[in-house]
Structure 1
Protein backbone atom coordinates (compact mmCIF):
# COMPACT_ATOMS: atom_id res chain seq x y z
CA UNK A 1 0.00 0.00 0.00
CA UNK A 2 2.98 2.30 0.52
CA UNK A 3 3.53 2.47 -3.22
CA UNK A 4 -0.14 3.45 -3.70
CA UNK A 5 0.23 6.20 -1.09
CA UNK A 6 3.37 7.49 -2.82
CA UNK A 7 1.52 7.46 -6.16
CA UNK A 8 -1.36 9.56 -4.80
CA UNK A 9 1.10 11.86 -3.05
CA UNK A 10 2.70 12.63 -6.42
CA UNK A 11 -0.60 12.69 -8.32
CA UNK A 12 -2.57 15.08 -6.10
CA UNK A 13 -0.61 18.29 -6.82
CA UNK A 14 -1.07 17.72 -10.55
CA UNK A 15 -4.80 17.08 -10.11
CA UNK A 16 -5.23 20.30 -8.14
CA UNK A 17 -3.22 22.25 -10.72
CA UNK A 18 -5.46 20.85 -13.48
CA UNK A 19 -8.60 21.78 -11.53
CA UNK A 20 -7.33 25.32 -10.90
CA UNK A 21 -6.35 25.67 -14.56
CA UNK A 22 -9.80 24.57 -15.74
CA UNK A 23 -11.56 26.99 -13.39
CA UNK A 24 -9.17 29.82 -14.34
CA UNK A 25 -9.59 29.16 -18.07
CA UNK A 26 -13.35 29.17 -17.68
CA UNK A 27 -13.20 32.45 -15.71
CA UNK A 28 -10.88 34.40 -18.00
CA UNK A 29 -11.93 32.95 -21.36
CA UNK A 30 -14.54 34.73 -23.44
CA UNK A 31 -16.17 31.37 -24.18
CA UNK A 32 -17.02 29.27 -21.12
CA UNK A 33 -16.23 25.74 -22.29
CA UNK A 34 -16.01 24.12 -18.85
CA UNK A 35 -18.96 25.70 -17.05
CA UNK A 36 -20.57 22.34 -16.30
CA UNK A 37 -17.67 19.89 -16.61
CA UNK A 38 -15.23 21.66 -14.27
CA UNK A 39 -17.14 20.44 -11.23
CA UNK A 40 -16.41 16.88 -12.40
CA UNK A 41 -12.66 17.64 -12.37
CA UNK A 42 -12.98 18.89 -8.80
CA UNK A 43 -15.06 15.88 -7.77
CA UNK A 44 -12.50 13.41 -9.16
CA UNK A 45 -9.70 15.27 -7.38
CA UNK A 46 -11.60 15.20 -4.08
CA UNK A 47 -12.31 11.48 -4.38
CA UNK A 48 -8.62 10.85 -5.09
CA UNK A 49 -7.62 12.95 -2.09
CA UNK A 50 -10.08 11.19 0.23
CA UNK A 51 -8.75 7.81 -0.94
CA UNK A 52 -5.21 9.02 -0.22
CA UNK A 53 -6.22 10.05 3.31
CA UNK A 54 -7.95 6.69 3.89
CA UNK A 55 -4.99 4.68 2.56
CA UNK A 56 -2.56 6.70 4.65
CA UNK A 57 -4.69 6.30 7.77
CA UNK A 58 -4.89 2.53 7.32
CA UNK A 59 -1.20 2.09 6.47
CA UNK A 60 0.19 4.15 9.37
CA UNK A 61 -2.68 3.45 11.80
CA UNK A 62 -3.37 7.11 12.53
CA UNK A 63 -5.26 9.99 10.96
CA UNK A 64 -2.80 12.21 9.02
CA UNK A 65 -2.61 14.96 11.64
CA UNK A 66 0.77 14.18 13.21
CA UNK A 67 2.92 16.67 11.31
CA UNK A 68 2.38 20.05 9.69
CA UNK A 69 2.82 18.54 6.23
CA UNK A 70 0.09 15.95 6.88
CA UNK A 71 -2.12 18.78 8.13
CA UNK A 72 -1.30 20.83 5.00
CA UNK A 73 -2.73 17.99 2.91
CA UNK A 74 -5.83 17.89 5.09
CA UNK A 75 -6.15 21.67 4.72
CA UNK A 76 -5.99 21.35 0.94
CA UNK A 77 -8.73 18.73 1.00
CA UNK A 78 -10.80 20.71 3.54
CA UNK A 79 -10.76 23.94 1.52
CA UNK A 80 -11.53 22.13 -1.74
CA UNK A 81 -14.33 20.12 -0.10
CA UNK A 82 -15.83 23.22 1.54
CA UNK A 83 -15.83 25.05 -1.79
CA UNK A 84 -17.33 22.00 -3.56
CA UNK A 85 -20.11 21.83 -0.96
CA UNK A 86 -20.77 25.56 -1.33
CA UNK A 87 -20.91 25.27 -5.11
CA UNK A 88 -23.41 22.42 -4.84
CA UNK A 89 -25.60 24.39 -2.42
CA UNK A 90 -25.63 27.61 -4.45
CA UNK A 91 -24.85 26.39 -8.01
CA UNK A 92 -22.59 29.45 -8.38
CA UNK A 93 -19.49 28.30 -10.26
CA UNK A 94 -17.62 31.47 -11.17
CA UNK A 95 -15.46 31.95 -8.08
CA UNK A 96 -13.47 28.72 -7.88
CA UNK A 97 -10.36 30.33 -9.34
CA UNK A 98 -9.94 32.47 -6.22
CA UNK A 99 -10.54 29.60 -3.76
CA UNK A 100 -8.80 26.63 -5.34
CA UNK A 101 -5.46 28.43 -5.46
CA UNK A 102 -5.00 27.60 -1.76
CA UNK A 103 -5.36 23.78 -2.06
CA UNK A 104 -2.77 23.84 -4.84
CA UNK A 105 -0.19 25.54 -2.61
CA UNK A 106 -0.94 23.44 0.48
CA UNK A 107 -0.82 20.14 -1.41
CA UNK A 108 2.38 20.96 -3.30
CA UNK A 109 4.16 21.78 -0.03
CA UNK A 110 2.74 18.66 1.63
CA UNK A 111 3.71 16.33 -1.21
CA UNK A 112 7.24 17.72 -1.32
CA UNK A 113 8.05 17.38 2.38
CA UNK A 114 5.74 14.76 3.91
CA UNK A 115 7.36 11.65 5.41
CA UNK A 116 6.19 8.07 4.97
CA UNK A 117 7.82 6.32 7.90
CA UNK A 118 7.89 7.60 11.46
CA UNK A 119 6.58 6.79 14.93
CA UNK A 120 3.85 8.83 16.57
CA UNK A 121 2.52 9.07 20.15
CA UNK A 122 -0.26 6.57 20.89
CA UNK A 123 -2.80 9.31 21.57
CA UNK A 124 -2.52 10.44 17.94
CA UNK A 125 -3.88 7.07 16.79
CA UNK A 126 -7.26 7.78 18.36
CA UNK A 127 -9.97 8.03 15.69
CA UNK A 128 -12.00 10.54 17.71
CA UNK A 129 -9.03 12.87 17.66
CA UNK A 130 -8.87 12.52 13.89
CA UNK A 131 -12.55 13.40 13.47
CA UNK A 132 -12.10 16.31 15.89
CA UNK A 133 -9.16 17.78 13.96
CA UNK A 134 -10.73 17.24 10.53
CA UNK A 135 -13.96 18.93 11.65
CA UNK A 136 -11.97 21.87 13.01
CA UNK A 137 -9.97 22.19 9.78
CA UNK A 138 -13.18 22.12 7.74
CA UNK A 139 -14.59 24.82 9.98
CA UNK A 140 -11.57 27.09 9.59
CA UNK A 141 -11.61 26.38 5.85
CA UNK A 142 -15.16 27.74 5.74
CA UNK A 143 -14.02 30.93 7.48
CA UNK A 144 -11.10 31.26 5.02
CA UNK A 145 -13.38 30.90 2.00
CA UNK A 146 -15.74 33.47 3.53
CA UNK A 147 -12.85 35.92 3.86
CA UNK A 148 -11.90 35.41 0.19
CA UNK A 149 -15.47 36.18 -0.85
CA UNK A 150 -15.35 39.23 1.41
CA UNK A 151 -12.28 40.53 -0.40
CA UNK A 152 -13.92 39.90 -3.78
CA UNK A 153 -16.99 41.80 -2.53
CA UNK A 154 -14.89 44.82 -1.57
CA UNK A 155 -13.04 44.75 -4.92
CA UNK A 156 -16.33 44.66 -6.82
CA UNK A 157 -17.81 47.33 -4.54
CA UNK A 158 -14.84 49.62 -5.22
CA UNK A 159 -15.13 49.03 -8.98
CA UNK A 160 -18.77 50.04 -8.85
CA UNK A 161 -17.95 53.19 -6.89
CA UNK A 162 -15.21 54.22 -9.33
CA UNK A 163 -17.09 53.07 -12.45
CA UNK A 164 -14.36 50.60 -13.43
CA UNK A 165 -15.91 47.73 -15.33
CA UNK A 166 -13.15 45.32 -16.36
CA UNK A 167 -12.88 41.57 -16.77
CA UNK A 168 -13.17 40.75 -13.06
CA UNK A 169 -16.26 42.94 -12.78
CA UNK A 170 -17.88 41.15 -15.71
CA UNK A 171 -17.00 37.65 -14.49
CA UNK A 172 -17.72 37.94 -10.77
CA UNK A 173 -21.23 37.39 -9.38
CA UNK A 174 -23.18 40.37 -8.08
CA UNK A 175 -22.50 41.99 -4.69
CA UNK A 176 -25.62 40.33 -3.31
CA UNK A 177 -24.45 36.88 -4.36
CA UNK A 178 -20.92 37.43 -3.03
CA UNK A 179 -22.41 38.48 0.30
CA UNK A 180 -24.56 35.34 0.31
CA UNK A 181 -21.56 33.13 -0.51
CA UNK A 182 -19.53 34.76 2.26
CA UNK A 183 -22.30 34.21 4.80
CA UNK A 184 -22.98 30.62 3.72
CA UNK A 185 -19.26 29.90 4.06
CA UNK A 186 -19.28 31.31 7.59
CA UNK A 187 -22.35 29.24 8.42
CA UNK A 188 -20.75 26.02 7.14
CA UNK A 189 -17.54 26.81 9.02
CA UNK A 190 -19.43 27.61 12.24
CA UNK A 191 -21.40 24.35 12.15
CA UNK A 192 -18.28 22.25 11.54
CA UNK A 193 -16.29 24.08 14.23
CA UNK A 194 -19.18 23.46 16.63
CA UNK A 195 -19.03 19.74 15.80
CA UNK A 196 -15.27 19.77 16.49
CA UNK A 197 -15.80 21.50 19.83
CA UNK A 198 -18.50 19.02 20.91
CA UNK A 199 -16.28 16.07 20.02
CA UNK A 200 -13.38 17.66 21.88
CA UNK A 201 -15.44 18.27 25.02
CA UNK A 202 -16.69 14.67 25.03
CA UNK A 203 -13.34 13.08 24.20
CA UNK A 204 -10.90 15.22 26.21
CA UNK A 205 -11.63 13.92 29.74
CA UNK A 206 -10.92 10.30 28.73
CA UNK A 207 -7.80 11.14 26.69
CA UNK A 208 -6.27 13.70 29.07
CA UNK A 209 -7.39 13.17 32.70
CA UNK A 210 -5.41 16.22 33.83
CA UNK A 211 -6.51 18.61 31.08
CA UNK A 212 -7.91 22.05 31.85
CA UNK A 213 -10.74 23.94 30.17
CA UNK A 214 -8.50 26.97 30.62
CA UNK A 215 -6.10 25.56 28.03
CA UNK A 216 -5.05 28.42 25.67
CA UNK A 217 -6.23 26.67 22.50
CA UNK A 218 -9.58 25.80 24.05
CA UNK A 219 -10.05 29.39 25.16
CA UNK A 220 -8.93 30.70 21.75
CA UNK A 221 -11.30 28.35 19.91
CA UNK A 222 -14.20 29.35 22.15
CA UNK A 223 -13.34 33.01 21.51
CA UNK A 224 -13.52 32.41 17.74
CA UNK A 225 -16.80 30.49 18.14
CA UNK A 226 -18.37 33.36 20.12
CA UNK A 227 -17.30 35.93 17.50
CA UNK A 228 -18.92 34.02 14.65
CA UNK A 229 -21.97 33.14 16.76
CA UNK A 230 -22.59 36.85 17.41
CA UNK A 231 -22.04 37.69 13.74
CA UNK A 232 -24.46 35.01 12.52
CA UNK A 233 -27.06 36.13 15.06
CA UNK A 234 -26.64 39.74 13.91
CA UNK A 235 -27.21 38.68 10.31
CA UNK A 236 -30.26 36.52 11.03
CA UNK A 237 -31.89 38.53 13.83
CA UNK A 238 -30.48 42.02 13.33
CA UNK A 239 -31.03 41.82 9.56
CA UNK A 240 -27.45 42.79 8.68
CA UNK A 241 -26.70 42.92 4.96
CA UNK A 242 -24.13 44.19 2.47
CA UNK A 243 -20.85 45.63 3.73
CA UNK A 244 -21.76 44.99 7.37
CA UNK A 245 -21.77 41.23 6.73
CA UNK A 246 -18.51 41.44 4.78
CA UNK A 247 -16.72 43.56 7.39
CA UNK A 248 -17.84 41.08 10.05
CA UNK A 249 -16.53 38.17 7.99
CA UNK A 250 -13.13 39.77 7.41
CA UNK A 251 -12.82 40.98 11.02
CA UNK A 252 -13.73 37.52 12.29
CA UNK A 253 -11.14 35.93 10.01
CA UNK A 254 -8.38 38.32 11.14
CA UNK A 255 -9.21 37.70 14.82
CA UNK A 256 -9.29 33.94 14.13
CA UNK A 257 -5.81 34.02 12.59
CA UNK A 258 -4.48 36.14 15.46
CA UNK A 259 -5.98 33.71 17.97
CA UNK A 260 -4.47 30.69 16.19
CA UNK A 261 -1.03 32.29 15.96
CA UNK A 262 -1.01 33.37 19.60
CA UNK A 263 -2.21 30.02 20.98
CA UNK A 264 0.19 28.10 18.72
CA UNK A 265 3.17 29.92 20.23
CA UNK A 266 2.22 28.98 23.80
CA UNK A 267 3.84 25.87 25.24
CA UNK A 268 1.57 25.26 28.25
CA UNK A 269 -1.11 23.52 26.24
CA UNK A 270 -1.83 19.82 25.81
CA UNK A 271 -2.43 20.55 22.11
CA UNK A 272 1.33 20.94 21.70
CA UNK A 273 1.68 17.19 21.22
CA UNK A 274 0.82 17.79 17.59
Structure 2
Protein backbone atom coordinates (compact mmCIF):
# COMPACT_ATOMS: atom_id res chain seq x y z
CA UNK A 1 0.00 0.00 0.00
CA UNK A 2 1.42 3.36 -1.03
CA UNK A 3 0.84 6.11 1.52
CA UNK A 4 -0.26 9.54 0.29
CA UNK A 5 2.39 12.23 0.27
CA UNK A 6 1.37 15.28 2.29
CA UNK A 7 2.94 18.42 0.90
CA UNK A 8 4.22 21.00 3.34
CA UNK A 9 2.32 24.30 2.98
CA UNK A 10 4.27 27.22 1.55
CA UNK A 11 2.76 29.36 4.31
CA UNK A 12 1.51 28.05 7.65
CA UNK A 13 -0.03 30.15 10.42
CA UNK A 14 -1.13 28.86 13.82
CA UNK A 15 -2.73 30.89 16.58
CA UNK A 16 -1.25 34.24 15.57
CA UNK A 17 -2.40 37.15 17.71
CA UNK A 18 -1.56 40.85 17.52
CA UNK A 19 -2.76 43.86 19.47
CA UNK A 20 -2.00 47.56 19.21
CA UNK A 21 -2.43 49.05 22.68
CA UNK A 22 -6.00 48.12 23.61
CA UNK A 23 -7.08 47.15 20.07
CA UNK A 24 -6.97 43.38 19.52
CA UNK A 25 -6.50 43.09 15.73
CA UNK A 26 -5.65 39.40 15.28
CA UNK A 27 -7.26 36.96 17.70
CA UNK A 28 -5.74 33.59 16.83
CA UNK A 29 -5.36 33.21 13.08
CA UNK A 30 -4.92 29.73 11.58
CA UNK A 31 -4.12 29.49 7.88
CA UNK A 32 -2.31 27.30 5.34
CA UNK A 33 -1.40 28.23 1.77
CA UNK A 34 -0.46 25.42 -0.61
CA UNK A 35 2.65 25.83 -2.75
CA UNK A 36 1.94 27.22 -6.21
CA UNK A 37 -1.59 28.34 -5.34
CA UNK A 38 -3.38 31.67 -5.00
CA UNK A 39 -5.07 32.29 -1.69
CA UNK A 40 -7.23 35.38 -1.35
CA UNK A 41 -7.46 36.78 2.15
CA UNK A 42 -10.77 38.57 2.12
CA UNK A 43 -11.98 41.06 4.70
CA UNK A 44 -13.39 44.49 5.31
CA UNK A 45 -11.21 47.52 5.99
CA UNK A 46 -9.67 47.13 9.43
CA UNK A 47 -10.10 43.34 9.50
CA UNK A 48 -6.36 42.78 10.01
CA UNK A 49 -5.31 41.64 6.53
CA UNK A 50 -2.33 43.97 6.24
CA UNK A 51 -1.29 43.24 9.82
CA UNK A 52 -1.09 39.53 9.05
CA UNK A 53 0.91 40.15 5.86
CA UNK A 54 3.35 42.36 7.76
CA UNK A 55 3.86 39.61 10.32
CA UNK A 56 4.45 36.97 7.65
CA UNK A 57 6.92 39.24 5.84
CA UNK A 58 8.83 39.89 9.13
CA UNK A 59 7.95 43.60 9.22
CA UNK A 60 5.98 43.12 12.44
CA UNK A 61 6.23 40.69 15.34
CA UNK A 62 3.24 38.68 16.49
CA UNK A 63 2.30 38.80 20.16
CA UNK A 64 1.75 35.04 20.20
CA UNK A 65 1.35 32.08 17.88
CA UNK A 66 3.66 30.72 15.20
CA UNK A 67 4.09 31.04 11.45
CA UNK A 68 6.36 29.59 8.80
CA UNK A 69 7.02 30.85 5.28
CA UNK A 70 8.82 28.50 2.89
CA UNK A 71 9.35 26.30 5.99
CA UNK A 72 11.26 29.08 7.78
CA UNK A 73 10.04 30.41 11.11
CA UNK A 74 9.11 34.09 10.75
CA UNK A 75 10.14 34.85 14.34
CA UNK A 76 13.57 33.18 14.40
CA UNK A 77 14.62 32.87 10.75
CA UNK A 78 13.70 36.28 9.42
CA UNK A 79 16.57 36.57 6.96
CA UNK A 80 15.65 33.24 5.35
CA UNK A 81 12.01 34.31 5.11
CA UNK A 82 12.96 37.61 3.45
CA UNK A 83 15.08 35.76 0.89
CA UNK A 84 12.05 33.59 0.06
CA UNK A 85 9.44 36.29 -0.44
CA UNK A 86 8.51 39.46 -2.17
CA UNK A 87 5.99 41.99 -0.88
CA UNK A 88 3.98 44.37 -3.03
CA UNK A 89 2.06 46.93 -1.01
CA UNK A 90 -1.13 48.84 -1.71
CA UNK A 91 0.68 51.50 -3.71
CA UNK A 92 3.24 50.91 -6.44
CA UNK A 93 6.82 51.46 -5.25
CA UNK A 94 8.05 52.69 -8.62
CA UNK A 95 10.57 55.50 -9.13
CA UNK A 96 8.70 57.68 -11.61
CA UNK A 97 11.84 59.58 -12.63
CA UNK A 98 13.32 56.39 -14.06
CA UNK A 99 12.15 54.43 -17.07
CA UNK A 100 10.54 51.06 -16.59
CA UNK A 101 13.73 49.32 -17.63
CA UNK A 102 15.87 51.48 -15.35
CA UNK A 103 13.65 50.60 -12.38
CA UNK A 104 14.19 46.91 -13.04
CA UNK A 105 17.92 47.26 -13.62
CA UNK A 106 18.24 49.21 -10.36
CA UNK A 107 16.57 46.48 -8.30
CA UNK A 108 18.65 43.76 -9.98
CA UNK A 109 21.84 45.67 -9.14
CA UNK A 110 20.72 46.22 -5.55
CA UNK A 111 20.22 42.47 -5.25
CA UNK A 112 23.70 41.95 -6.75
CA UNK A 113 22.46 39.78 -9.59
CA UNK A 114 24.46 39.12 -12.72
CA UNK A 115 23.33 40.59 -16.05
CA UNK A 116 20.79 43.11 -14.67
CA UNK A 117 20.04 44.37 -18.18
CA UNK A 118 19.08 40.92 -19.40
CA UNK A 119 16.92 40.38 -16.32
CA UNK A 120 15.15 43.68 -16.98
CA UNK A 121 14.51 42.87 -20.63
CA UNK A 122 13.13 39.44 -19.78
CA UNK A 123 10.70 40.86 -17.22
CA UNK A 124 9.59 43.66 -19.54
CA UNK A 125 8.69 41.03 -22.11
CA UNK A 126 7.04 38.77 -19.55
CA UNK A 127 4.79 41.57 -18.27
CA UNK A 128 4.02 43.01 -21.71
CA UNK A 129 5.98 46.20 -21.06
CA UNK A 130 8.75 45.85 -23.66
CA UNK A 131 7.40 48.63 -25.88
CA UNK A 132 7.21 50.99 -22.89
CA UNK A 133 10.49 49.96 -21.30
CA UNK A 134 12.39 53.12 -22.29
CA UNK A 135 9.59 55.50 -21.26
CA UNK A 136 9.68 57.14 -17.85
CA UNK A 137 7.31 55.29 -15.56
CA UNK A 138 5.49 58.53 -14.75
CA UNK A 139 3.87 58.17 -18.20
CA UNK A 140 2.53 54.69 -17.41
CA UNK A 141 -1.12 53.97 -16.76
CA UNK A 142 -2.11 52.65 -13.34
CA UNK A 143 -2.18 49.08 -14.60
CA UNK A 144 1.21 49.38 -16.27
CA UNK A 145 2.73 50.91 -13.15
CA UNK A 146 1.34 48.12 -11.01
CA UNK A 147 2.60 45.46 -13.43
CA UNK A 148 6.04 47.07 -13.31
CA UNK A 149 5.88 47.07 -9.52
CA UNK A 150 5.09 43.35 -9.47
CA UNK A 151 7.86 42.68 -12.01
CA UNK A 152 10.31 44.51 -9.75
CA UNK A 153 9.21 42.39 -6.80
CA UNK A 154 9.93 39.19 -8.73
CA UNK A 155 13.58 39.94 -9.39
CA UNK A 156 15.53 37.12 -7.79
CA UNK A 157 12.70 34.62 -8.39
CA UNK A 158 11.15 34.49 -4.90
CA UNK A 159 8.93 31.41 -4.52
CA UNK A 160 6.32 33.32 -2.50
CA UNK A 161 4.79 36.72 -3.14
CA UNK A 162 2.47 38.79 -0.95
CA UNK A 163 0.15 41.17 -2.78
CA UNK A 164 -1.54 43.58 -0.38
CA UNK A 165 -4.64 44.97 -2.10
CA UNK A 166 -2.79 45.29 -5.43
CA UNK A 167 -5.67 46.83 -7.40
CA UNK A 168 -6.70 49.55 -4.96
CA UNK A 169 -7.56 52.70 -6.91
CA UNK A 170 -7.20 51.15 -10.36
CA UNK A 171 -9.76 51.47 -13.14
CA UNK A 172 -11.49 48.28 -14.40
CA UNK A 173 -9.14 47.77 -17.35
CA UNK A 174 -6.05 48.20 -15.17
CA UNK A 175 -7.48 45.80 -12.60
CA UNK A 176 -7.94 43.17 -15.30
CA UNK A 177 -4.33 43.64 -16.41
CA UNK A 178 -3.13 43.00 -12.86
CA UNK A 179 -5.41 39.98 -12.53
CA UNK A 180 -3.90 38.42 -15.63
CA UNK A 181 -0.44 39.05 -14.20
CA UNK A 182 -1.31 37.31 -10.94
CA UNK A 183 -2.74 34.33 -12.81
CA UNK A 184 0.48 34.14 -14.81
CA UNK A 185 2.54 34.07 -11.60
CA UNK A 186 0.65 31.09 -10.21
CA UNK A 187 0.92 29.21 -13.51
CA UNK A 188 4.68 29.64 -13.21
CA UNK A 189 4.66 28.01 -9.76
CA UNK A 190 4.76 31.12 -7.56
CA UNK A 191 2.73 30.95 -4.36
CA UNK A 192 0.54 34.05 -4.02
CA UNK A 193 -1.16 35.35 -0.89
CA UNK A 194 -3.44 38.14 -2.03
CA UNK A 195 -5.32 40.44 0.33
CA UNK A 196 -8.36 42.20 -1.02
CA UNK A 197 -11.68 43.71 -0.08
CA UNK A 198 -12.99 43.27 -3.63
CA UNK A 199 -15.19 40.19 -3.79
CA UNK A 200 -15.01 39.87 -7.57
CA UNK A 201 -11.21 39.91 -7.36
CA UNK A 202 -11.16 36.98 -4.95
CA UNK A 203 -13.78 35.18 -7.01
CA UNK A 204 -11.79 35.55 -10.23
CA UNK A 205 -8.28 34.85 -8.94
CA UNK A 206 -8.23 32.55 -5.97
CA UNK A 207 -7.83 28.81 -5.70
CA UNK A 208 -8.96 29.19 -2.10
CA UNK A 209 -10.56 32.06 -0.20
CA UNK A 210 -10.10 32.77 3.51
CA UNK A 211 -12.42 35.26 5.17
CA UNK A 212 -10.85 37.25 8.01
CA UNK A 213 -13.40 38.82 10.36
CA UNK A 214 -12.90 40.34 13.80
CA UNK A 215 -9.40 38.93 14.02
CA UNK A 216 -10.00 35.31 13.06
CA UNK A 217 -10.46 33.22 9.92
CA UNK A 218 -14.18 32.42 9.99
CA UNK A 219 -14.24 30.42 6.74
CA UNK A 220 -11.63 28.98 4.38
CA UNK A 221 -12.37 27.05 1.23
CA UNK A 222 -12.78 27.03 -2.51
CA UNK A 223 -15.43 29.25 -4.07
CA UNK A 224 -17.61 26.18 -4.62
CA UNK A 225 -17.25 25.16 -0.97
CA UNK A 226 -18.14 28.64 0.25
CA UNK A 227 -21.18 28.76 -2.01
CA UNK A 228 -22.46 25.60 -0.38
CA UNK A 229 -22.75 27.47 2.92
CA UNK A 230 -25.87 29.17 1.56
CA UNK A 231 -28.92 27.43 0.14
CA UNK A 232 -29.51 27.62 -3.58
CA UNK A 233 -32.21 30.09 -4.51
CA UNK A 234 -34.68 29.14 -7.24
CA UNK A 235 -37.20 31.26 -9.06
CA UNK A 236 -39.55 29.60 -11.50
CA UNK A 237 -37.19 27.82 -13.94
CA UNK A 238 -34.08 29.92 -13.12
CA UNK A 239 -31.61 28.58 -10.60
CA UNK A 240 -29.26 31.07 -8.99
CA UNK A 241 -25.98 30.10 -7.37
CA UNK A 242 -25.08 32.27 -4.36
CA UNK A 243 -22.31 34.71 -5.22
CA UNK A 244 -19.23 35.22 -3.09
CA UNK A 245 -20.77 38.52 -2.00
CA UNK A 246 -23.84 36.64 -0.71
CA UNK A 247 -21.60 34.28 1.26
CA UNK A 248 -19.41 37.07 2.66
CA UNK A 249 -22.30 39.20 3.88
CA UNK A 250 -24.06 36.20 5.38
CA UNK A 251 -20.92 35.32 7.34
CA UNK A 252 -19.83 38.74 8.58
CA UNK A 253 -23.19 40.51 8.57
CA UNK A 254 -23.74 44.12 7.69
CA UNK A 255 -23.04 45.67 11.07
CA UNK A 256 -21.02 48.95 11.15
CA UNK A 257 -17.31 48.41 10.61
CA UNK A 258 -14.98 48.62 13.59
CA UNK A 259 -11.90 50.71 13.09
CA UNK A 260 -8.59 49.06 13.99
Fold shared, TM-score > 0.5 on shorter chain: no
Structure with bigger RCO (C-alpha 8 Å, 6+ apart)? 2
Larger fraction in helix: 1
TM-score where L is the length of structure 2: 0.26
TM-score with structure 1 setting the length: 0.25
